Amino acid sequence: MTQRTDTELPRKPGPALDSVASEAVRAAIEACRDVPGALLPILHGVQDALGHVPPAAVPVIAHALNLSRAEVHGVISFYHHFRSVAPGRHVLRLCRAEACQAMGARGLEAHLRARLGIGFNETTADGTLTLEPVYCLGNCACAPSAMLDDRVHGRLSVERIDTLIDDCGERP
Amino acid sequence: MSVRVFVPCDTSAVACGADGVAARIESEAGVRGFDVTVVRNGSRGACWLEPLVEVETAAGRIGFGPVDPEDVPALFDAGFPAACEHPLALGRVEDIAWLKKQQRVCFARNGIIDPLDLDDYRAHGGWNGLERALAMAPADIVQAVTESGLRGRGGAAFPCGIKWKTVADQAAAQKYIVCNADEGDSGTFSDRMAMEGDPYRLIEGMLISALAVGASRGFIYLRSEYPVAHRILGEAIRRARAAGWLGADVHGSGRAFDIDLRLGAGAYICGEETSLLESLEGRRGQVRFKPPLPAIKGLFGQPTVVNNVITLASVPDILVNGGAWYRDLGTGRSRGTLPIQLAGNIRRGGLIELAFGVSLRELLYDYGGGSASGRPIRAVQVGGPLGAYLPESQFDTPIDYEAFAAIDALLGHGGIVVFDDTVDMAEQARFAMEFCAVESCGKCTPCRIGSTRGVEVIDRIREGVEREANTDLLRSLCDTMLHGSLCALGGLTPLPVLSALKHFPEDFARNA
């Protein structure tokens, strides 16, 4: 069973925040107390800490910023970077943009879909890997590119991307 | 004495193994008893040579590349870290023709200095433009930039001096400098390379802009896809602040200016200046109606300069050498230099900074060396995902804003993506519409709905369903998007679609 990690499907109301998540949300809000236009920095703080922005965090953030829940949800769903569902242990973002297309990115995409059995914004059944699309990583002269967690990899081939995925399976 | 070895920390170099190379050089040097200091410099922009390792010698810096971590022991066997015979040896880096022929202004320091070392920055001419500006009246700074003919390098090419004068003329207690570092166009990476390789240059440009218009606060809106740039720029801001270049009293001048570094969140549309301002204010990145112009009512309703990274990074040299010096570079109404980014299916890709006027052909074949695959180059897309696809018959077009406009194309942020003859141009046209659908902010109908309908119509054309009628429909749809969209995303998506249709009609009739 794969689960989409983006925000396009209707979600059930999320479970209440556990103490770790609650503390992460509180810390993210606190860190931006004097920041003008604080919503994006807060959302980044929450997602950096938890890997996603849990739906239950929305009313907490809305209250702190004196916004409606709809406004906060609207921002989360607008930006591709923010997720409402926890991703796998690793996130692989494959560049789909033109410079990478010119160097075979469409073939890599087909290979990943076949090998992993998932599409974009889905996570493998064992929870190891989430696959996401990205439109340009700024590595266009060394294409095709992908970002595994926080690291960009260039000059990818099917063999090289397979090695990256194999390593994910072996790392916690 | 310790030998200095340079291994870039730039995203492209790291993506091709530079961290492993640096570690391997240190460990091999340790085992073999060499005293080596590894400096993590920025990139020279010769991406095809990355990771490009350089060694400082009495005769200048000598290069080796592209180096894989596995190559390192063999390099040491051949005599590294000294000039030696090895298949990867490139000789003096300054003598590499690909670099030597360039006219570096914005990228003069890239790859040479340690990006975060303030002493290195100073020693290579850093802060000279700011010091000049601090001794000038604000109106004279604006005048120098106006005289230079500098136009916005983000893509719109609006005259920078006019924008600054508009902001300077506003009476307001709070004005802002916003740097647009949301470099989303595929095939472009000059902003990233500038921020990773010479971050104080951008800070200096923003400071000069602030002095010119009377702003005390700046924001850099950086895309979240650039973690390396985020780390380096964040540290550069901290160090500049600690050294008194930012803060309540800039370099003892009594003037206040500080910079907040903000991250985007994966929305291409936030590269559009009014969307960017919405995003900075904490909202969905939806385009604003203009007027009012951001220069009059911008961030938080205050007069705001919104400039691209390269625009701001061009300013220090203009202040040092004068507006006339910059204006004398270039051609027609395109003055100065443009950092061109050669990408995609190209043998020698990377960053090429040249005065305007060089032809596409020269870039593709003299610098680029043809396609990476060795097959004929069939099409190039210039200016990102909203730029036109150009066929070989247009390769003599010079790099010049007006020359590109004359052929229904755009120069944009200076990215060139190369495709060989295996490309299916109908598929590329479809992708242009698909990308617009994914990234549309949703505010205006031609862009939000038109892009999705565009994908459907192109699918029908490719399937051979009423091909002629659907092609007419596609042209009509493009016309609506072109004239009815609120911003450049919906308004320019027709460019790649119509150019593909015009120059490569055979690709739309393949599966009849």
Task: Choose between B271 and A14: higher pLDDT.
Answer: B271
- The one-letter amino acid code at B367 reads Y
For A11, counting Cβ atoms within 10 Å of its Cβ (0-12 exposed, 13-18 middle, 19+ buried), the class is exposed
Distances (CA, A) of B379 to A109, B95, B361, B487, B504: 23, 31, 12, 26, 9
| CATH of B118-327 among 3.40.50.11540, 3.40.50.720, 3.40.50.300, 3.40.50.880 | 3.40.50.11540
Contact B457, B474 (CB under 8 A): yes
CATH 3.40.30.10 residue ranges for chain B: 3-100
Which among A77, A140, A161 is the top mutation candidate for probing chain B, defined by the most B β-carbons within 10 Å of its own β-carbon?
A140
Task: Please list every residue in chain A whose beta carbon sits closer than 8 Å to the beta carbon of residue B423.
Answer: 102
ipTM above 0.85, yes or no: yes
The torsion angle over the Cα atoms of residues B101, B107, B109 and B112, rounded to 10 degrees, is: -60
**Residue B382 has what pLDDT?**
98
On whether the B425-509 domain is CATH 1.20.272.10, my answer is: no
Task: Please list every residue in chain B whose beta carbon sits closer than 8 Å to the beta carbon of residue A136.
Answer: 184-188, 225
Q: What is the CATH number of domain B330-420?
A: 3.10.20.600
| CATH of A90-170 among 3.40.50.2000, 3.40.30.10, 3.40.50.300, 3.40.50.720 | 3.40.30.10
Assign residue A51 a region (left: φ > 0; alpha: ψ between -120 and 50; beta: otherwise).
left
Is pLDDT at A23 greater than 70 in this prediction? yes
Q: What is the CATH number of domain B3-100?
A: 3.40.30.10
Asked if the C-beta of B343 comes within 8 angstroms of chain A's C-beta atoms, the answer is: yes
- The one-letter amino acid code at B472 reads D
CA proximity to A164, closest of B55, B155, A152: A152
Q: How many CB pairs under 8 A join A and B?
A: 155
**Residue A13 has what pLDDT?**
56
Q: Place A170 in a pLDDT band, splitting at 50, 70 and 90.
A: confident
Lowest mean pLDDT across A1-15, A143-157, B486-500: A1-15
Profile chain B (512 residues) by mean pLDDT over runs of 10 residues. Answer: 95 98 98 97 98 97 97 97 95 97 98 98 98 98 98 97 98 98 97 98 98 98 98 98 98 97 98 98 97 98 98 98 97 97 98 98 98 98 98 98 97 98 98 98 98 98 97 98 97 98 95 60
Q: What does the alpha-carbon distance between residue A19 and residue B195 come to, in Å, rounded to a whole number?
A: 38
Which DSSP helix (H) or strand (E) runs through B483? helix B467-484
Q: How do residues B258-274 score in pLDDT, each as one tens digit?
A: 999 999 999 999 999 99
Q: How many other C-beta atoms lie within 10 A of the C-beta of residue B235?
A: 13
Give the one of A40, A136, A145 whose C-beta lies nearest to B282's C-beta: A40
Strand-strand pairing, B389-391 and B377-382: antiparallel
Q: How far is CA B437 from the centre of its chain?
A: 24
Decide if A141 and B183 are in contact by the 8 Å CB cutoff: no
- Minimum CA–CA partner of B227 in chain A: A150
Is pLDDT at A10 greater than 50 in this prediction? no
Six token digits for residue B229: 């740039």
Q: Place A1 in a pLDDT band, splitting at 50, 70 and 90.
A: very low
Domain extents for chain A? 1-86, 90-170
**Residue A7 has what pLDDT?**
54
Task: Please list every residue in chain B whose beta carbon sits closer than 8 Å to the beta carbon of residue A75.
Answer: 282-284
Is pLDDT at A74 greater than 50 in this prediction? yes
The residue assigned the tokens 């560049």 is A95
Q: What is the CATH number of domain A1-86?
A: 1.10.10.1590
CA proximity to B289, closest of B487, B155, B448, B489: B487
Q: What does the alpha-carbon distance between residue B207 and residue B487 come to, in Å, rounded to a whole number?
A: 29
Decide if B265 and A41 are in contact by the 8 Å CB cutoff: no
Asked if the C-beta of B272 comes within 8 angstroms of chain A's C-beta atoms, the answer is: no
**Residue A9 has what pLDDT?**
46
Give the one of A98, A100, A151 whose C-beta lies nearest to B381's C-beta: A98
Asked if the C-beta of B181 comes within 8 angstroms of chain A's C-beta atoms, the answer is: no
- The one-letter amino acid code at B18 reads A
Distances (CA, A) of B134 to A97, B127, B148, B248, B258: 43, 10, 19, 15, 16
